[in-house]
Chain A
């Protein structure tokens, strides 16, 4: 079974750093793009960026470029989303999701269960 399992909920203070993870199993991790999607409380889905673990090719939405860092360690089948200077406005649910097939123009499927990040002083 193809599965993405994300790290647990986090509570942080403004200005702190954070790295959350997404571990893939049941497939060839290096061969599929993995993306990150933000959902702020009561809002829609926002495409943040995506990484190809095989060669670490990473693409960002202009809205998130410079605000977060996406990385992957293919030796342990894990992708990461990182912040260096959290803001209260980063409070949201963050999902990782895999491209449905080993191609560029496909939807996301499956999705991880989500990681809730709360930033509050």
Chain B
């Protein structure tokens, strides 16, 4: 089973600043990596797939990069609606299509 590790667990950022979230896989997942945003009380929402492709309707301030075992989600200028929990998921090798433990982005 592939283990996904996200860091940091919590990221404190001021509105308008840049946020950089990391996700590491225990073995290569190629580019089969997704990022999801989860606002409290809501279901997760797909943000990025194939490591770097924005899902439909996702603002351009969200970008993904990486391949193999190291991945990054960058939010270029945080807006109030971006404060949420972000989960990465590998879908290269399932079952299971493992998720990371999540990174909470909170207001500084």
**Which of A's residues lie within 8 Å of B, judged by CB?**
35, 37, 43-50, 59-63, 95, 97, 100, 105-114
Contact = CB atoms under 8 A, between A and B. Distances in A.
B89 A45 contact: yes
B95 A61 contact: yes
Contacts, number: 70
Contacts of B69: none
A105 B44 contact: no
A47 B1 CA distance: 12
Contact of A107 (B1, B34, B43, B96): B34
B49 A106 contact: yes
Contacts of A107: 34, 36, 46, 49, 89, 91
A113 B54 CA distance: 22
A111 B99 CA distance: 15
Nearest to A93: B43
Given A106-B49, A107-B49, A59 B44 contact: no
A119 B99 CA distance: 25
B15 to A, nearest CB: 25
A56 to B, nearest CB: 15
B34 A47 contact: no
Q: Closest 8 interchain pairs by CB?
A: A107-B34, A61-B96, A109-B46, A47-B96, A45-B99, A111-B43, A44-B101, A59-B95
Contacts of B99: 37, 44-47
A108 B96 CA distance: 13
Contact of B49 (A35, A97, A100): A100
Contact of A109 (B55, B94, B102): B55
B18 interface: no
B94 A59 contact: yes
B73 to A, nearest CB: 14
Interface string B69-108: 0000000000000000001010110111111111000000
B67 interface: no
B32 interface: yes
Given A100-B46, A111-B43, A112-B43, 13 more contacts: A44-B100, A45-B36, A47-B94, A47-B99, A50-B97, A60-B95, A61-B1, A95-B44, A106-B91, A108-B34, A108-B46, A110-B46, A113-B43
